[in-house]
Chains A and B, each alone.
With several copies, the nearest count.
Chain A
Amino acid sequence: MNRRVYLDNNASTRVEPAAVEAMLPYFGQTYGNASSIHEQGQRARSGVENARRQAADLLGADSDEIVFTCGGTEADNAAIFGVAESFGRPGSHLITSKIEHPAVLRACEALEKRGHRVTYVDVDSDGVVRLEQIQESISDETALVSVMYVNNEIGSIQPVGEISEIARRQGVLFHTDAVQAAGKIPVDLQQEGVDLLSISAHKFHGPKGVGALFLRSGVETAPFMVGGSHERKRRAGTENVPGIVGMGKACELAAQHLEDFGTRIGALRDRLEQEVLERIPGTVLNGRGAKRAPHVSNISFPGLRGEALLVALDFRGVAVSTGAACSSGAVSASHVLTAMGLDDRVIDSAIRFSISRMTTEEDIEYVLEILPEVIGRMREMAIA
């Protein structure tokens, strides 16, 4: 029988059993609304506030600086729309990069339609933003700089410290999408000059449908979701108590495993990369020259098509993803690999392997065993 190996952890991860355990009482016993004054509500409130501390601890933040959201997308949207709309002037200027997640890019595009101006800075061929372009485009009309911490497709770590310095010198707010950084590389908000930061629980073994926006103390933005006075009036909507509790537990566990993540997971990833490059001629490691998070490998097999390779690997029990989003049928080339200026044949054949702390050495061995065979077949089938 096929072994099942899940190497699509950047898409979503397995929820930690301990996180599920922590959530369970909040479905059938402590089911009150955390805004309710009665004991049922207040016990739910305690669960939420405990989780807020756990999330704050993972990031080196203060509990008061954490606003829970329904995921990374909402956190990104809330940061971008929130800052733009509370900027003093009607049409503000934003700076972001060409390799952001769609949750940032689409929000910026929506703002452009509403009369705001957005600069999309380039990246180099390793997928790292060009700092000088940020420096050149920033001005006192700039409301926000938003550059991600770790790119989800290739894992490149962006120079967040330098960017925050540039923003700070200009007195401009800085947001970073840390959805692929939190729980994977050390993020310490006490050190870094980040004003807003997005995370999402399901990327580090927490439940789907819950995330958080860090809002540095003193930073005020227009709320994105409006309604009841939840989350200290910063985000409306009945708090997802079990989800938030699960996220809190996942934050605690991620913090505990952070060191191990950098070493053991990094080693697994390195072994995967080295062996694939060695055993399969003609492969290309994307973002090779960048400082990369330890859990992502983006490898191209020029001449093949990523999606077919994905399906073939899946048939052998290995779950991966392509750089290309083709959710609506029309395969569109990865905007990240495109921004890196890569060759079409490299872009079309890219496969993303993303590891988690639940990945074992045996998993990697299995992939190394079957991958050359699968690639071999696909090459036999290709039109010469």
Chain B
Amino acid sequence: MYSPKVRRLVGEMPNRGRIDDATHVGQSENPICGDRVVLYLRFGRDRLEKASFQADGCTAALAAAAGLLELIVGRTALECARITTDQLLIHLEGLPRHKTHGAEVAVAALQEALTAATANPQENDPA
């Protein structure tokens, strides 16, 4: 049902919680199943230096949020903005049929973080 990658992500939950010095924060919610993901991003000069997440949702959403951070840390904002749900699904080694929306919520939170006004906009990153 869940891939080894998903199991590990949910088991270890890397980068959970919030970071205080985030440059970008984004949140997304799936109104149907109630999955919610919040991403905290700290961009350095031109790369994402640090990121964390909080989530309230099913296994797929949790794993997607944690997996997405693995994918984007070290990338430029532009690269981050180009991450697709499909790329995330590949990184997660797949999600069960009816649970792919978990990846969508995570990617939507990323998009939101990159476009929305950030909590403490020290830098203006051309997303």
Contacts and interface: CB of A to CB of B under 8 A. Distances in A.
> Do A and B originate from a single complex?
yes
Interface string A300-338: 000001011001101110000000001011110000000
Given A308-B62, A311-B2, A382-B55, A328 B98 contact: yes
B13 A37 contact: no
Contacts of B16: 377, 380-381
A125 interface: no
A45 interface: yes
A206 B125 CA distance: 63
Among B11, B57, B96, B98, chain A packs the most CB atoms within 10 A around the CB of B11
B6 A311 contact: yes
B57 A381 contact: no
B58 A315 contact: no
Interface residues of B, number: 26
Contact of B10 (A315, A331, A384): A315
Given A312-B13, A329-B97, A330-B98, A381 B6 contact: no
A316 B12 CA distance: 9
A315 B55 contact: no
A316 B11 CA distance: 7
Interface string B20-38: 0000000000000100101
A311 B56 CA distance: 15
Interface string B31-70: 0010010100000000000000111111100100000000
Nearest to A328: B98
A329 B98 contact: yes
A306 to B, nearest CB: 10
A49 B53 CA distance: 35
Contacts of A328: 98
Nearest to A324: B58
A240 interface: no
Given A312-B11, A315-B12, A381 B17 contact: yes
Contacts of A329: 96-99
Contact of A331 (B7, B8, B12, B58): B58
B1 interface: yes
Contacts of B1: 37, 42, 45
A368 interface: no
A1 interface: no
Interface in A331-384: 331, 377-378, 380-384
Given A37-B1, A312-B13, A329-B98, A383 B55 contact: yes
A383 B13 CA distance: 14
Contacts of B12: 315
Contact of A315 (B11, B53, B56, B57): B11
Contacts of B53: 381
B60 to A, nearest CB: 9
A315 B7 contact: yes
B8 A315 contact: yes
B96 A382 contact: no
Contacts of A312: 10-11, 13
A307 B7 CA distance: 12
A307 B13 contact: no
Contacts of A42: 1-2
A381 B53 CA distance: 7
Nearest to B65: A381
A337 B41 CA distance: 39
Given A329-B99, A383-B38, A307 B54 contact: no
A3 to B, nearest CB: 14
Nearest to B16: A381
Contacts of B98: 328-330
Interface of B: 1-2, 6-8, 10-13, 16-17, 33, 36, 38, 53-59, 62, 96-99
| Nearest 9 pairs of A and B residues by beta carbon | A315-B11, A329-B98, A381-B16, A311-B10, A383-B54, A308-B59, A380-B17, A383-B56, A311-B59
8 contacts: A37-B2, A39-B7, A307-B58, A312-B10, A329-B97, A329-B98, A380-B17, A381-B17
Given A315-B12, A381-B53, 12 more contacts: A305-B56, A308-B57, A315-B8, A316-B11, A328-B98, A329-B96, A329-B99, A330-B33, A381-B55, A381-B62, A382-B55, A383-B56
